[in-house]
Structure 1
Amino acid sequence: MKNKPFIIFYILVAYVFVQFCWWGYHIIDLNRQVFELNVTLEDGALSGNLGTDENKRLLEEKLEKRKWMVIGEGSVFALLLVMGVYITQRAFKKEVDLSRQQRNFLMAVTHELKSPLASIKLYMQTMQKHDLDDQKSSEILENVLNETNRLTSLVDNILLSSQIESDNYLLIKEEVNMSRLTNDILDNFALHPVKEKVSIDRNIQSEVMLSADFNAMNSIVINLVDNAVKYSNDATKVLVELTTGDSEVILTVKDEGQGISDAEKSKVFDKFYRQENESTRKTQGTGLGLYILKYLVEQHGGAISLTDNDPKGSIFAVTLSSS
């Protein structure tokens, strides 16, 4: 049962609260009994003494003070208990969510590794068993190259994610021609399309230079475009724009897909996170691309924004300082 840990946790919390209330009741009842006993002793020892009423009054005041002392201490204890439960519950839920995301990630990686490997094996067996003409052989080799590129991209993302987690990723800055880099990547997407029915338009300003890590910029552009294409509907367009502003370089990718709800906009950059809908489940992905993207952008002192496209879809905009 998936919710068993939560059920056990809440049962224990309820038990602690019941025990706390029971303890408070007994403390107050014990004070009452002590008060009654003291009154009885005072009545017996000071029978007829004019000071008896005064002693009773002092005992009553003492009882009242003890009662409020117990209530005060109990309230503080209850507050600390509630805070502890809240913090523990949040941490517990976070761990459960992370565990689920890691499990989904492993399943996704397994699928994404098996799929291209199976395709490559099938293509190679076809070439081995049949005497194909040059055109057919060329088509098969092209498909093998596409599947190999998929594997390379997946492995690169996994290795990069591991380096990020262990703080071993180092930026090596150099002068990067972002215009040439972006155009080369888009040309490659055109030659080896992720989705045949999704077209990519471009508006790339010429000779945009940036002091940055070349591999990081390459990963940023690839992940942005790949994400936009994968989650686009058939017969739609993805627009990639590279422009400059006041001492900044702006890379914008607009798609016409299903879009991202406001509730999920802040989550899509989390490691392993994937949207919980049918179209996402049918789309290949590991939940690493946008996580890596945000990290690399922030390492360069930049920012990334996510807004809605009109009439539908999403707009990812990366802003990097060119100074």
Structure 2
Amino acid sequence: MTPLAWLVASLAFGLGVIVGALALRRRAKKEVVARMLVPHRTRQIVAALQSGAIVVRRDRRAGYSNHTAAALGLARPDGALHEAVADLAEKAWATGEVVEEDVEVRRGVLGSVSIVHVRLTPIDDELVFAVANDNTEQRAAEATRREFAVNVSHELKTPIGALSLLAETIESASDDPVMVREFAVKMRREARRLTKLIQEIIQISRLQGGESVLDHDQVDVAGVVHEAFEGAALAAEAKRISLVADLRERPHVLGDRDLLVMAVRNLVDNAVSYSDPGARVTASVTCKDDIVSIAVLDQGIGIDAQDQERIFERFYRADPARARDTGGTGLGLSIVKHVALQHGGAVTVWSQPSVGSTFTLSLQRFEESE
């Protein structure tokens, strides 16, 4: 290598060293500035917050954020900031006031959407402090309550409207005893349906609202089935349906006896309602490991596969016309589901059209310690 080449190489090497040193110095300076903007003690406090917390810098990056903010998808440890949060910070600086807004955040491989409520408070011209909380479940609960209110209003209109129409018909036909008796029977039927609907609305509201605190007593499962059968016996006799109890095992569970009877009674009532005259409804109790299963089997019309995923929703009816004929409200299976949840259990269904259905209520077995 010629002396000139050596000189050029040496100058290039020296220049690279100088540039690298300057870059390291600039980075160190930035870290010092960041530490000055968000001191160590402040970082410790922010890290301890249960809510997501972010110190937003003027350059639309996070000066510091805690783990919750990262879990919510609003900020990353490297300072990257969700675009919507950066925009809200600009708005807070511009107005000089606290800014609150819900932000949609897509997280995970499937891109599931969360609703995160963010409150941003301007500290000075360089920093904004943001506090974030996940409101996804709250939003869903509010939507469910609104939907429930709409459904209740709709369901109540039907029997109330029918009663009003029947009353007008009786009034206009008051001189015809035969018609009066006929429509009086229909009024009683609609009144019973309205009473049942109101009772079930109250029951499911209590179950969902957490007002029905469980009395955790030791409950004989076989006794629950017997009591449910006694309640359904009249309707079964009217359709000549046999109620068969297969109670070879007599386990116990810990829970509220009245709620469990109500759940099993709803399953038996459904089985009777959707079975043809002369059929059979069977309730069996089995145990496997620590799980008690109460299965109610019918030989009824069955449920289509596309309806099986939704039958535990409130007011959902797989066959609305058939449900009206049987007096169904669309709340019975939803009540069963919530009773099961309150007992730490679950309810499942197997069904095939024209063959029948089997609903299984699974609960934790209780055994007294010696």
Could you state the TM-score of these two structures normalised by the residue count of structure 2?
Answer: 0.48
Aligned twin of 1:290: 333
Alpha-carbon contact 2:250-2:285 (below 8 Å) kept: no
Amino acid in structure 2 at the alignment position of 1:212:
G
Q: Verify: 1:279 aligned to 2:322, yes or no.
A: yes
Structure 2, gaps ≥5 residues long: 1-105, 107-113, 115-139, 168-187
1:302 corresponds, among 334, 341, 345, to 345
Q: State the shift of 1:108 in Å.
A: 5.5
* Cα distance between partner residues in 2 of 1:312 and 1:111: 36
Deviations 1:115-170 (A, max 9, x none): xxx9xxxxxxxxxxxxxxxxxxxxxxxxx9xx999887655423212213433221
Q: Verify: 1:170 aligned to 2:213, yes or no.
A: yes
* Cα distance between partner residues in 2 of 1:281 and 1:320: 31
* Cα distance between partner residues in 2 of 1:239 and 1:316: 11
Q: Verify: 1:102 aligned to 2:172, yes or no.
A: no
Local SS of the residue matching 1:102: helix
Aligned twin of 1:222: 265
| Structure 1 residues 225 and 310, CA gap change in structure 2 (3 angstroms) | same
* Cα distance between partner residues in 1 of 2:337 and 2:201: 15
| Structure 1 residues 265 and 197, CA gap change in structure 2 (3 angstroms) | same
Q: State the shift of 1:206 in Å.
A: 4.5
> Which of 1 and 2 has higher RCO (CA within 8 Å, sep 6+)?
1
Structure (1 or 2) with the greater strand fraction: 2
**5 Å matches for 1:21-170?**
101-107=151-157, 110=160, 155-170=198-213
Aligned twin of 2:87: none
Aligned twin of 2:276: 233
Equivalences, count: 213
Deviations 1:288-319 (A, max 9, x none): 11111101101111111111258611110111
* Cα distance between partner residues in 1 of 2:152 and 2:196: 19
Local SS of the residue matching 1:282: helix
* Cα distance between partner residues in 2 of 1:94 and 1:154: 19
Amino acid in structure 1 at the alignment position of 2:155:
F
Local SS of the residue matching 2:212: coil
Aligned twin of 1:317: 360
1:246 corresponds, among 254, 264, 289, to 289
| Structure 1 residues 108 and 249, CA gap change in structure 2 (3 angstroms) | farther
1:208 corresponds, among 242, 245, 251, to 251
Structure (1 or 2) with the greater helix fraction: 1
Alpha-carbon contact 1:197-1:235 (below 8 Å) kept: yes
| Structure 1 residues 206 and 150, CA gap change in structure 2 (3 angstroms) | farther
| Structure 1 residues 301 and 98, CA gap change in structure 2 (3 angstroms) | closer
Amino acid in structure 1 at the alignment position of 2:324:
R
Alpha-carbon contact 2:246-2:283 (below 8 Å) kept: yes
Could you state the TM-score of these two structures normalised by the residue count of structure 1?
Answer: 0.54
Deviations 1:60-103 (A, max 9, x none): xxxxxxxxxxxxxxxxxxxxxxx9xxx9xxx9x99997677434
Alpha-carbon contact 2:303-2:353 (below 8 Å) kept: no
